[in-house]
Structure 1
Amino acid sequence: MTLHNAGAAKAGLNASDAQALNLLEVHGTMTPGRLAEAMSLTTGGSITALIDRLEKAGLVRRVRDAADRRRVLVELVEDRTRELLEQFTSVDEAAWKRLSGYTEEERQVLIRFFDDVHENVPEILADLRSLP
């Protein structure tokens, strides 16, 4: 998490902004409500402020759903987010350097684990909230 926060700060974002971008990159266009749910935020002011910040930075845009014009969707601005991700090249290189000490089989297990955690963040957060 510290690495995530440091990377976000380097890009001029806070951790929630970076998390939202990551979710949109992985899951694609989402409604504000679905994005809020995935991030465990309220669907009112918190998610609106987050989307406003990302939209002002040129990283996302609000678009109308073609199937239901009453519905708003949040999508990444691909060119801008690609530029942002390029800033993390040194972090990626450092991570891959560390992984080079693992066997291919060990790397595949790690990748599978992190992919699984990443895909199940909303469920994991729900489980954490239910703990005493």
Structure 2
Amino acid sequence: MAAEFSILYVTFPNMELGRKIAHELLEKRLASFINLIPSMMTMYQANNKIKQNNETEQIDSEILMMAKIRSALASNILELVDRLHPYDLPEMYTVRVGVSCIDQMNGTLRQYLDGNLAKNI
């Protein structure tokens, strides 16, 4: 049985853009309980070299968005966020909330998500 809900993870270059896309998802009822976590540090390779902001750092400061979504809409939500995102290769993925986790989810939260998330796009 597939999980009914997932958590969407997306990184952004700044809080302004994170908030803009979060509002878009909320307005369309595609996400709920969105967390924007500031000052996350990201390391990665670009063109087979570690990306460097300056001579001493090998990191980017980013914002992390965590949003609760309906699993059945994950592909469409990822496509929407990809269109709105400024990066050529945005880091974004979903993690299903497994059946064993759903069994442990607060019943009130489950009812809220089910009643407030869109069932289709």
**TM tier relative to shorter chain:** under 0.3
> Using CA pairs below 8 Å that are at least 6 residues apart, which structure has the higher relative contact order?
2
TM-score (norm 2): 0.27
Higher strand share: 2
